Amino acid sequence: MASDPTEGPRADDRTAAEDAAHTGNPTKVDDQQRVAESPHSDDPAVEALHRVELGLEWFHRAHGHLVAFHHNTGHAMDHFAAAEALLRDQGEDELADELRDDFLPCGVLDDRWSYDVLETFQAGLLDDAETLEERARERLADGDRHVAERAQEKAWKGRAEEESE
C-alpha cells in the first residue's frame, strides 16, 4: 500500500506494511522528526541527494518484485502447460482447450506478457530514475554515492570514540 504523498516523505528503512504495523506506537519517530534529527539535515543539498538515492533504491526494490512476478507468472504458465497435456490424457479436451486457447497465450496486462511489463519498467521509469540520480550526484556531490550515510557513519564513529575515552 502506497503512502499518501501529501503526508511528507516516508521513512526510508521500512516497508509500507512495517509502517502500518508501527501506526499508533507512541514511541514512533515521524518522518519529519527523523529528517530534523539526521546528521545531514542541516545541509539541504545532502538531504535532497539522499532522498533521490533512497527513491532510486525503492525503484530497485520494485524492479526485484517485477522480476519475481515475471518468474512466478512463468512458473504458473509452465504448470498450466503441463496440465493441458494431462487433461487431454484424461479425456478432458474442453478444459485442455481452454488452457491452450484462453490462458497460455494470454498476457498479464491486456495482451502484454510479464517480460514485456518488466522490460518497459527497466527501459522507462527505472532507467530514467537512474539517470536522474546520477545527474543529482554529479551536481550535488561530485559524483560521490551515499554522502548522507558517510556523514552519519563519521558522526557515529566520532561519538563512539569521544564517549569511550
User: Distance (Å, rounded) from C-alpha 50 to C-alpha 163?
Assistant: 28
User: Distance (Å, rounded) from C-alpha 119 to C-alpha 122?
Assistant: 5
Q: Is the pLDDT of residue 101 over 80?
A: yes
Q: Please, which residues have CB within 8 angstroms of residue 91's CB and are 6 or more apart in sequence?
A: none
The per-residue pLDDT for 56 is: 98
Residue 55: all three cell numbers together: 527513491
Angstrom distances, CA of residue 64 to CA of 2, 8, 52, 67? 17, 25, 19, 5
The per-residue pLDDT for 39 is: 54
- Please compute the mean of the pLDDT values over residues 11-29 and round it to a whole number: 47
Banded model confidence at residue 10, pLDDT cuts 50, 70, 90: very low
The per-residue pLDDT for 90 is: 98
At 112 the three-state DSSP class reads strand
At 41 the three-state DSSP class reads coil
At 88 the three-state DSSP class reads helix
Q: What is the pLDDT of residues 22-67, one digit of tens each?
A: 444 434 445 554 544 555 568 999 999 999 999 999 999 999 999 9
At 109 the three-state DSSP class reads strand
